[in-house]
Amino acid sequence: MPGTAALEAWVEECARLTRPDQIVWITGSEQEYEGLIAGMLADGSMTRLNESAYPNSYLYRSDPTDVARTEELTYICTEREEDAGPNNNWMSPREAKEKVRPLFEGCMRGRTMYAVPYLMGPAGSPHAKVGVEITDSPYVVANMRITTRIGQIALDTLAENGGEFIPGLHSIGDLDPDRRYILHFPEEKLIWSIGSGYGGNALLGKKCLALRLASWMGWKEGWMAEHMLILGLEDPDGNVTYMAGAFPSASGKTNLAMLVSPLADRGWRVWTVGDDIAWLRPGPDGRLWAVNPENGFFGVAPGTGPDTNPNAMTTLSKNSIFTNVGLTPDRLPWWPGINPDEKEPPAGTINWLGHPKEQEPDVPVAHPNSRFTSPASQCPSISPHWEDPQGVPISAFIFGGRRARVAPLVYQAFNWQHGVFVGAGMGSETTAAATGEVGVVRRDPMAMLPFCGYNMADYWSHWLTMGAQIAHPPAVFHVNWFRKGSDGTFLWPGFGQNARVLMWMHDRIHGTGRARETPIGYVPTPDALDLSGLDLAPETVEQLLAIDKHDWLGEWGDQAPFFNQFGQRLPAAIAREHLELRARLDALPG
Ligand code: GTP
Ligand code: SPV
Ligand code: MN
């Protein structure tokens, strides 16, 4: 298939390095997909699910040592270390290539090399970018086909934009974590990834291009690439207010984006634009406009069920790939929560390692980071505007953490600068989305710690600059669905009920919501939240909205060394906001 000369030359160069048996250019056709799947069914790497319950859907089990993003093996390779910042692992481009090129040498011998042209962003959008991923994993190709727009549509855009594309070379290598590297070269817009076939390590359009490289490009070019869901909240008048939310990995973006409102009968509903990534640009009207660069969802399976996220359940009911979930004797996928009244799967269910669960009672049936890959177009709540080339206008940014203590259910920042500080100071408990310890609080500014492709201090400066450039910057909120009571259970019902918090934000944006001023921002008065029909004790509501001086002084203290790492590069406005928070906390009685 003809591409531009530069594209063909790069693919040939990669082939000389990796020595595949053959090169296949991916067109994105149905037939081609069926062929890829047939190959994986034949070699046993995929299993067909129950065709009547889950048409055209498959189970894939990854290598047991390759089940999540590996942040410690992910690098930003800039000429100067300080441009990558203390928030990233760094190697110089030269050192990185010298170290990793030998791993690519001959790594595709005996394998097929796929060249996958893909488009991030809706076709015809000024936001859209073309990437080309070279990979030796048919599983990666199949996932890219769902999560991005692949093949001809990307080549057409490439032809229209003068042949510009972002190259990404990927090989599963030998899957040994000791020889795994996820390398980004933002100065030459290049990605090299070897040794993993999982998620954000391997589907290069997602975290590598659409966040790490795109955040760098946005910094240089005056736009933003964020780890954000995008939703539209329709009110009883039929007006839709668009909001974008940054929560750390596995902390509720997909769920909020697809929320089914319990107050739909009163005219409140949520439309889904995106569930993981937002690209934002200032519009001529002085607002920020957002597109979802993706074409599908790579969603967390555990916890997803008809009671928590019915829209996700419909979305994943066909044409989907399930990774590292359980398999019941009826050939249905299984994970905790898929059937709300079933704590345990049926006897004879096969766990994610491929063994009968009875043989391995200590192994979870589904891996905690097991995922579904499904087309966005199948989502019942998908917005009619989700592929609008110019995107949707954003009225609010929502930051969110997973915090058993400290952070109240919701609060609003005083203004844009304070909002940037609220995002910069975010903390959240770690999850299974990345390897490492789970449940420990870490600073995860704007949910971008693993995804910001440059010095985080420069990123905050960029946020401040963007706000100053637009006439109508979004209102900024912070939420926490995960606050726990003394008995260790969640205080807030979450999921669909989060609509009530979105409604308060809507009221704040439109000037009617009631709030009290606290040291951390505006917190709803208990009567400002519509809690009708919820069985919440007034003490619980009080606990959910409480600002504890002692807890917040602890939080302040935890932020200090994090900010200090950035030295002189930390924007003065952030340092000042941090000091002013301290003064407001000190003035609080108690
Ligand atoms: P990534 O795809 O990793 O970026 O994750 P995400 O931010 O999209 O998270 P997702 O919505 O998939 O949720 C992750 C986990 O949190 C799932 O197990 C959900 O069931 C659970 N979760 C989501 N929203 C809520 C909520 O409001 N309350 C509670 N208790 N759990 C939630
Ligand atoms: C995340 O970890 O934030 C994800 C999943 O969205 S992955 O694509 O693996 O990065
Ligand atoms: Mn994510």
Q: Tell me the C-alpha distance between 295 and 145, whole Å.
A: 9
- For residue 433, give the ligand 1 atom closest to its CA: 3
**How do residues 54-85 score in pLDDT, each as one tens digit?**
999 999 999 999 999 999 999 999 999 999 99
Query: For ligand 1, atom 27, which residue shows the shortest CA distance?
Result: 494
**Distance separating alpha carbons of residues 146 and 207, to the nearest angstrom:** 15
Do residues 189 and 174 lie in contact, with contact meaning Cβ atoms separated by under 8 Å? no
| Total residues belonging to the chain | 590
Beta strands in 295-447 (DSSP E): 296-300, 321-323, 326-327, 333-334, 371-375, 392-400, 410-412, 427-429, 441-443
Mean pLDDT throughout 400-410? 96
pLDDT value of position 468:
96
Shortest-distance Cα residue to atom 17 of ligand 1: 303
- Please tell me the distance from the alpha carbon of residue 250 to that of residue 432, in angstroms, as a whole number: 7
SS3 (DSSP) at 149? strand
Residue with tokens 């959240």: 428
**3-class SS letters over 423-468:** HHCCEEECCCCECCCCCCEEECHHHCCCCCCCCHHHHHHHHHHHHH
| Residue tagged 């935890």 (tokens) | 558
In the predicted model, what is the mean pLDDT of the chain? 97
> In whole angstroms, what is the distance from residue 538 CA to residue 486 CA?
16
Task: From 60, 73, 276, give the residue whose CB has the most ligand 2 atoms within 8 Å, as the site to mutate.
Answer: 276
Residue 2 pLDDT > 90, yes or no? no
pLDDT at 1 over 50: no
How many angstroms separate the alpha carbon of residue 586 from the centre of ligand 2?
38
| pLDDT number for residue 526 | 87
Instruction: Look up residue 250 and give its DSSP letter.
Output: T
Ligand 2: which residue has its CA nearest to atom 1? 249
Q: Which residues line ligand 1 (CB under 6 A)?
A: 247, 249-255, 275-276, 299-300, 302-304, 308, 433, 481-482, 490, 494-495, 498
Q: Could you report the per-residue pLDDT of 434-476, keeping only the tens digit for each?
A: 999 999 999 999 999 999 999 999 999 999 999 999 999 999 9
For the segment 162-217, what is each residue's pLDDT rounded down to a tens digit?
A: 999 999 999 999 999 999 999 999 999 999 999 999 999 999 999 999 999 999 99
> What is the distance between the alpha carbons of residues 71 and 83, in angstroms, rounded to a whole number?
18
Angstrom distance (rounded) from CA 500 to CA 491: 15
Helices and strands in the chain: count of H runs, count of E runs: 16, 29
The model's pLDDT over 87-110, given as tens digits with 9 standing for 90+, comes to 999 999 999 999 999 999 999 999
Cβ pair 266, 290 in contact under 8 A: no
At residue 228's C-alpha, the angle toward residues 238 and 181, to 5°, is 155
pLDDT of residue 3: 61
**DSSP string covering 267-311:** T-EEEEEESS-EEEEE-TTSSEEEE---SEEEEE-TT--TTT-HH
What sign has the CA pseudo-torsion 186, 172, 63, 349? positive
Atom 5 of ligand 1, residue of closest alpha carbon: 250
- The protein residue whose alpha carbon is closest to atom 29 in ligand 1 is 494
Question: In this structure, which ligand is nearest to the CA of 200?
Answer: 2
Tokens of 48: 């067909």
Query: For a pocket test of ligand 1, which of 251, 338, 398 has the largest count of ligand atoms closer than 8 A to its C-beta?
Result: 251
Q: Confidence band (pLDDT; 50, 70, 90) for 131?
A: very high
CA–CA separation, 421 vs 577, rounded Å? 7
Question: Please, which residues have CB within 8 angstroms of residue 12's CB and are 6 or more apart in sequence?
Answer: none
Q: Which two tokens stand for residue 471?
A: 């006439």
The ligand minimizing its distance to the Cα of 144 is 2
Give the C-alpha separation, 251 to 399, whole Å.
11
Q: Are 186 and 76 in contact (CB under 8 A)?
A: yes
The DSSP output letter for 345 is P
Residue 84 pLDDT: 98
Q: Convert 482-534 into a string of H (helix), E (strand) and C (coil).
A: CCECCCCCECCCCHHHHHHHHHHHHHHHCCCCCEEEECCEEEECHHHCCCCCC
Predicted local confidence at residue 569, as pLDDT: 98
Q: What is the pLDDT of residues 515-569, one digit of tens each?
A: 999 999 999 998 999 999 999 999 999 999 999 999 999 999 999 999 999 999 9
